[in-house]
A and B are shown apart, each in its own frame.
Chain A
Amino acid sequence: MLESLGKEKNIFLLACNGCAEACETGGEKALSAIKADLEKAGKNVASTALVDFLCNKVLVATRLAREMDKIKKMDSILVLSCGVGVQAVSKVVNKVVHPAANTVSLGGLQGLWPSDERCQACGDCALDYTGGICPITFCAKSLLNGPCGGAQDGKCEVDSEKDCGWQLIYERLQKVGRLENFKEIRTPRDHSKMLPSSELRKTSFYDIEL
C-alpha cells in the first residue's frame, strides 16, 4: 500500500461497508486500522468515509458529493474495497485512486455485484497503475501493456458498441497526470493467485455443502 502511495502525502481514505466489511478488508474496523498504519508511516489521512456499497456508482457519487472540497485538496484516494469499488470511485472522482487490496475470491461473501465481469478477483490488482480502469475486464484480450491495433474510432474490435479499454486507460492517465504508469512493462499475470486459499475453502461461506 505504501509503495503504491509513493510520495503522496495527503490521503483520503474510503472504505466499503458491504462485502469488504464481511471480508474484513473494509468497514469501520479496517478503516481505523489502516488510518493508524498510514499515520504511523507519516501520511496525513485528512479525511475518511464509509460507504455501504462502493460498487454502486450512484451511492458513491451521492456520498462523495459532500466530500468533494476535501477530496480536491488531497493527493490521492486509497480505497478499501474489491476492484469494482475502486473502479466506481475512479469513475466519479477526478483524482488518482489506489486499491488498498489485491482482490481475491470473495468465496460466498459477495453482496451487491456478485459476478466477475468488472473484477475477476485476480489477486494482483492492476487498478493502481491504470487509473482505476481494469485492463483485465475492460480489454477483450486482457492486455496489460497497452492497446492492440484492433480498436477503431475508440471502439473494441470484438464489439463496436464497447469502448477500447486501453484508450480509456490512456485518457484517464493523461487526465490525472500519470501517463508514466503506461510506460512501465508489466510482467505476465500469476494465475495461481486466483485460486481461493485453503482457509477460505474451509469456511461455511465458501463450501456450500457444509
Chain B
Amino acid sequence: MKLIERFKQGKFVITCEVGPPKGIEIKKLIDEVVPLRDKVDAFNVTDLQSSVLRVGSMATCRLLKDKDLEPIMQLTCRDRNRLGLQSDVLSAAVLGIENLLCLTGDHPTMGDHPEAMPVFDLDSVQLLSAIKGLMGAKDMAGNDLEGQPPEFCLGAVVNPGADPLEPQIMKMEKKIQAGAEFFQTQAVYEIDKFTVFMEKVKHLKVPVMAGIIFLKSPAMAKFMNANVAGIHVPEEIINELASAGKEKRVEKSLEISARLITELKDLCQGVHIMSLGWERHISTVLEMARL
C-alpha cells in the first residue's frame, strides 16, 4: 500500500527504520520487525546508511513484503548514475515495492570505503523528477517505456534543525514540485524549534513525519550534538537521562522518546523512528505514547 493512502485516511502515520546487515544473515532483522507488523505502517530500508557497505535496500524490501510488511525503499544518489538509478527504480516496481524515499546520500568519505568515487550524477530533486518521469512512461532521455508505467508514492527528507533553515525549506519546495508527497525529518528533540519549522512549511500542505532517535546514553546524545548535522539534544534531556542511573537508563530513554512522540502528535502527521538496534523497544515506546 502506498504510504500516502495512510495520510489520506487521517491516520497519525508511524514508520521505522531498518538497517540491512553487513553480511548476508538477514534472518535476525526479519525476526525483529515481524512483531511490529500491526503497530508500524511502513519500514524504511536504508541504502548503505552512512556510506557503509551492507546488503541492499531493494532485496531487503522484497523480503519484508514476503512477510506482509510495507517497505519504503531508500534511494540515494551516491553510488549510481542516472542509468543505474532508473534501472533500480524499474526493478523495484517489478518486485512490488510501492514507496520510495529519495535522498542525496552521505558522501563516501563518511563511511567505510572512503576511497570510493562519489557519483552524485543526479541530486535528490532531479532523482524525484526522473522517477516522476518514469511514472509517466518516459525515461530521462525522453524514450518511451513499454507497457504499463510504474506507480510509486515518493517521499523525501528535510532537516528542520539546519541553520540557516531557509535553504532547506526552499529545497523542500523544489522536492514537492518534483514529486515528493511526504517528508521525513532528521531527529527532533526541541519541540519549540520544530513548531517554528512546521509553521514555516504549513503552506506546503504536505505530510511531515518527525524523526525520532532513541537516546541510548548521555554520551550518544553528546556525540550527536557534536557530529550530526541538525541534531541538537538539549542539556535538560541529557541530564534527565544521566540522572536515571545505568540500571534505569533504558526505561528513562524510552520514556523520553514516548514523551517527544506525544508532544509531536499534534504538530505533524506522523513519526519516523530510527531505533538504531533498539527495534525490540519500539512497541513499548508506541504503547507509552498511546499509539
Contacts and interface: CB of A to CB of B under 8 A. Distances in A.
B127 to A, nearest CB: 9
A112 B140 CA distance: 38
B230 A149 contact: yes
B166 A170 contact: yes
Contact of B82 (A157, A185, A186, A188): A188
Nearest to A188: B126
Given A151-B162, A170-B166, A142 B120 contact: yes
Contacts of A166: 167
Chain A binding surface, main DSSP class: loop
A40 interface: no
B174 A147 contact: no
Interface stretch (B54-62, B104-112, B243-251): B104-112
A149 B162 contact: yes
A157 B126 contact: no
A143 B78 CA distance: 11
Nearest to B109: A158
A186 B127 CA distance: 12
Which of the four size classes fits the interface of chain B? 35 or more
Which of the four size classes fits the interface of chain A? 20 to 34
A150 B106 contact: yes
Given A170-B164, A183-B170, A145 B229 contact: no
Interface of B: 77, 82, 104, 106-107, 109-110, 118, 120-126, 129-130, 140, 157-159, 162-164, 166-168, 170-171, 173-174, 177-178, 186, 227-230
19 contacts: A140-B118, A141-B118, A143-B120, A146-B171, A149-B186, A149-B229, A150-B104, A150-B106, A150-B229, A152-B228, A158-B109, A170-B166, A183-B173, A185-B129, A188-B82, A188-B121, A188-B126, A188-B140, A191-B121
Interface of A: 140-153, 157-158, 166-167, 170, 182-183, 185-189, 191
